[in-house]
């Protein structure tokens, strides 16, 4: 049975890093970052662009789920509300797919540390820290499995995720 593994969380929590590591650890895996479906300059947020990104993401995820060569589809995106998660899931063809939804949670100091590296390298603007901290509370009430990332490297986080995916036989941490 195929697996769709979704990681959400605030900016800088480590969604992309964990997703890339998990893709390497899982057999027959493919990874999509929702940010790739809405990478524009300037970044425009309105009803039209929100509809576009949902269509882009659902199209690509459905293509990956339909592709017989992939057994594990890993997806990450901010997804700041249960309503957005429900909208996305309603667009997906999830017959014969085992779904796992995780929210990555971190302390303020961990978020600031992660984001400061991106700010220093020019990947993000300084205001991202306050926005990320404000978003953090949005994930606590979502119907997802919560994973705290504080002080954990990707290999340890994969070990936590594998418990939910069905054990060590489904995930290899040798590539870490």
Q: What is the tally of structural domains in the chain? A: 1
Q: What is the pLDDT of residues 35-88, one digit of tens each?
A: 999 888 898 999 999 999 999 999 999 999 999 999 999 999 999 999 999 999
The CA distance from 67 to 152, in Å, is: 33
Strand 97-105 with 145-148, pairing: parallel
What pTM was estimated for this model as a whole?
Answer: 0.91
Question: Is 64 among the domain residues?
Answer: yes
Question: Is 73 among the domain residues?
Answer: yes
Q: 165: helix, coil or strand?
A: helix
Question: Is 112 among the domain residues?
Answer: yes
Question: Is 91 among the domain residues?
Answer: yes
Is residue 91 over pLDDT 50? Answer: yes
* Model confidence band, residue 175 (pLDDT cutoffs 50, 70, 90): very low
Choose among 58, 57, 79: nearest CA to 9. 79
Question: Is 175 among the domain residues?
Answer: no
CATH at residue 43 = 3.40.50.300
Q: What residues make up the domain containing 129? A: 2-169
Choose among 79, 77, 69, 73: nearest CA to 94. 73
Question: Is 83 among the domain residues?
Answer: yes
Question: Is 174 among the domain residues?
Answer: no
Residue % of the chain over a pLDDT of 70: 94
């Amino acid at each position: 049975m195929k697996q769709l593994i979704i990681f959400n969380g605030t900016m800088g929590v480590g969604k992309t890093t964990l997703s890339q590591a998990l893709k390497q650890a899982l057999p027959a895996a493919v990874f999509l970052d929702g940010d790739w479906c809405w990478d524009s300059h300037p970044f425009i947020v309105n009803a039209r662009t929100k509809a576009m990104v949902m269509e882009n993401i659902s199209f690509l995820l459905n293509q990956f789920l339909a592709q017989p060569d992939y057994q594990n589809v890993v997806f990450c995106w901010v997804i700041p509300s249960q309503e957005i998660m429900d909208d996305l899931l309603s667009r997906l063809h999830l017959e014969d797919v085992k779904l796992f939804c995780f929210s990555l949670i971190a302390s303020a100091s961990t978020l600031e540390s992660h984001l400061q590296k991106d700010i220093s390298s020019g990947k993000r603007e300084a205001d991202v820290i306050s926005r990320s901290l404000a978003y953090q509370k949005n994930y606590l009430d979502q119907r997802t499995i919560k994973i705290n990332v504080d002080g954990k490297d990707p290999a340890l986080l994969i070990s936590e995720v594998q418990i939910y995916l069905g054990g060590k036989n489904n995930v290899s941490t040798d590539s870490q």
